Homo-oligomer: A and B are copies of this chain.
């Protein structure tokens, strides 16, 4: 029953080049990685299953890059610098070499982009769907960002635009029609999130708490508030929307708001900062050419309250949001 346990077996040739940059070549039972002195190791793992976390008919190279990037986003949320990753692939029989080649090509693209190497891997056969597990390793000097440092009075910030992951999934599933260019942009955001590595690193020493938006803005902010022992209030009107998001909001405000507040897969950073550091955040964002927006405040108490444009509390359950 043991089928090349611990190595890539027949698909090894596609993955060996991904490890060669570090001189590892996947030849040994494990990879040896020198650690920069005085740095801490940051570790995260995320699994993606076809039909659950991606539709299944996406180009393999994009699936590969998303699997890698959702993990890099977790590193970004800690303020870590990516170092490398391991990959475990469970593949059904029908997956052919062309699929694997495309998948490996996508990884190579993003390895170059983010300056990382494949540190180890395993490939197993499965009677189930394609399943991809990435464990990403990073380093951080000094104190990493965590979810638990938010204090009463802090501003709540997000990077980029929110809701595009959820809107893009609608496009992927063919459920909603945006104008073509907007639909394309949203779909791309869903397929290929952008881990905010530079922002995360820059926020060390500035932000009191941080995490990435993967489960949905309100739910994730709830996690951050709970970890910090505080409450958060958000002004819905301040939540930054992309052009496609604004279009959807004009068409159906309640639906768009529900997607922006409750959808997931944005992989933007959600972070809290003392008000006396607003200029530091804006200066960092300017340097990175990455928009950031102040969307609310940290208060005493617990939970998350969202206010609409008229100052009324948004009933989150009614816009499809389920409390965690």
Listed in ascending order, the chain A residues whose CB lies under 8 Å from chain B are 1-6, 27-35, 37-49, 51-55, 70, 73-75, 77-78, 80, 84, 86-90, 119-129, 131, 133, 135-138, 140, 144, 146-148, 165, 169, 211-212, 214-215, 227, 264-265
Contact = CB atoms under 8 A, between A and B. Distances in A.
A130 B148 CA distance: 33
B30 A75 contact: yes
A89 B52 CA distance: 14
Q: How many monomers of this chain does the complex have?
A: 2
B40 A5 contact: no
A2 B214 contact: yes
A44 B6 contact: yes
Contact of A46 (B5, B37, B119, B126): B5
Nearest to A54: B1
Give the one of A6, A124, A140 with max B CB within 10 A.
A6
B35 A43 contact: no
A4 to B, nearest CB: 6
Contacts of A84: 43
A86 B32 contact: no
Contacts of A133: 45, 47, 88, 122, 133
A158 B136 CA distance: 33
B124 A6 contact: no
Given A2-B215, A28-B211, A35-B35, 5 more contacts: A3-B53, A29-B212, A31-B44, A47-B124, A51-B127
Contacts of A80: 30
Contacts of A41: 32-35, 41, 137
Contact of A43 (B54, B120, B123, B214): B120
A217 to B, nearest CB: 13
A3 B215 CA distance: 7
Given A74-B6, A122-B47, A32 B42 contact: yes
A124 B196 CA distance: 24
A33 B3 CA distance: 32
5 contacts: A28-B148, A29-B212, A30-B78, A30-B144, A52-B124
Contacts of A31: 42-44
